[in-house]
Amino acid sequence: MCNQTVGLIAAEIERQGIPTVAIQLLRSVAEAVKPPRALWVPFAHGYPLHKPGEPELQKAVMRAALKMAENEKLEAGALLDYIPE
């Protein structure tokens, strides 16, 4: 449900003129809800930015997500996979 919720909020924020990137934990939900820009991460529920107490791992996920906003090749509904280093 959390994945759908952020996907729907992201769409509303984009409608109001601000670009968004949504982290997604369930690829199937991301494909159904279609957030404008989404990064699927291979982590468990409760662990959207990888591991607790690991700032560098968390920032690596965030950088990958935020860089999607700069990627001019992407189109509405873009869904990329995050591959942890």
Footprint of other proteins (CB under 8 A): 1-26, 28-29, 32-36, 42-55, 58-59, 62-63, 65-67, 69-70, 72, 75-77
Give 29 or 80: the residue with its C-beta nearer to other proteins.
Answer: 29
Question: Residue 78, Cβ neighbours under 10 Å: how many?
Answer: 16
Place of tokens 């991460």: 41
What is the closest distance, in whole angstroms, from the C-beta atom of residue 58 to other proteins in the complex?
5
Give 8 or 80: the residue with its C-beta nearer to other proteins.
Answer: 8
Q: Which residues contact 61 (CB under 8 A, 6 or more apart)?
A: 23, 39, 41, 48, 49, 50, 82, 84
Q: Using CA atoms, how far apart are residues 84 and 67, in angstroms rounded to an integer?
A: 15
What is the closest distance, in whole angstroms, from the C-beta atom of residue 80 to other proteins in the complex?
14
What is the closest distance, in whole angstroms, from the C-beta atom of residue 69 to other proteins in the complex?
4
SS3 46: coil
Give 13 or 80: the residue with its C-beta nearer to other proteins.
Answer: 13
